[in-house]
Homo-oligomer: A and B are copies of this chain.
Amino acid sequence: MTNTLSRLIERLGRIVQNDAHSFGLKPTQWEALRFLNSANRFSRTPSGLTIYLGMTKGTVSQTLSALERKGLISKTKAAGDKRGVMLDMTPLGKQALKADPLKTIEEDLDRLTQRERDELFALLSKFLKAMLARRDSAQFGQCRDCMHFVSSQKGALPHFCALLAEPLSGADSELMCVEYSASERQAPRS
């Protein structure tokens, strides 16, 4: 009957969102910018963002239009598939991220001990993973931890994604990917 923990999470998320109304951008727009800053090229598409945000594609399409109008992102036609759109941050967009309101939250977090932050991170990661699994949503891990990742042992050659059959630079392999699939055994679903 006590739903205090879920309310705590709701409340915390609400404060974070409330902070994110700065510089004429909305919370969702900020989150979209963050996504484009940390997702690899296979994932920087409207559909990738849609999965990440867990919203409908119509809504995401509008958010992207708003960001493009403000000159923070650019859209280009995808190379192969003529339906696809490739998203990228403009220099102005990268500039905007320097004023990311999430930094305020980081300052709040700095008041916890390192140990507390580690514990919190571990618990929230685990919880988030469980939530996403239950909702059949992608987890967006890094390539280098992905089961489709083929590392070049020597370091001279590019790495490789076995799923998409594409080469990956060192920088690439540290970005988030919508196709991510954990290479370790997943926790069994009860």
A residues whose Cβ falls under 8 Å from a Cβ of B: 3-18, 31, 34, 53-55, 100, 102-103, 105-106, 108-109, 111-112, 116-117, 119-121, 123-128, 130-132, 134-135, 190
Known: A3-B103, A18-B55, A55-B18. A8 touches B124 (CB 8 A): yes
Kindly report which residue of chain B lies nearest to residue A121, judged by CB atoms: B5
Give the chain B neighbours of A106 by CB distance below 8 A. Answer: 3, 5-6
Kindly report which residue of chain B lies nearest to residue A54, judged by CB atoms: B18
Give the chain B neighbours of A102 by CB distance below 8 A. Answer: 3, 6-7, 10
What are 15 A-to-B residue pairs whose CB atoms are below 8 Å? A5-B120, A6-B105, A8-B125, A9-B13, A9-B105, A10-B13, A10-B16, A10-B105, A12-B128, A14-B31, A14-B54, A15-B131, A15-B135, A119-B123, A120-B120
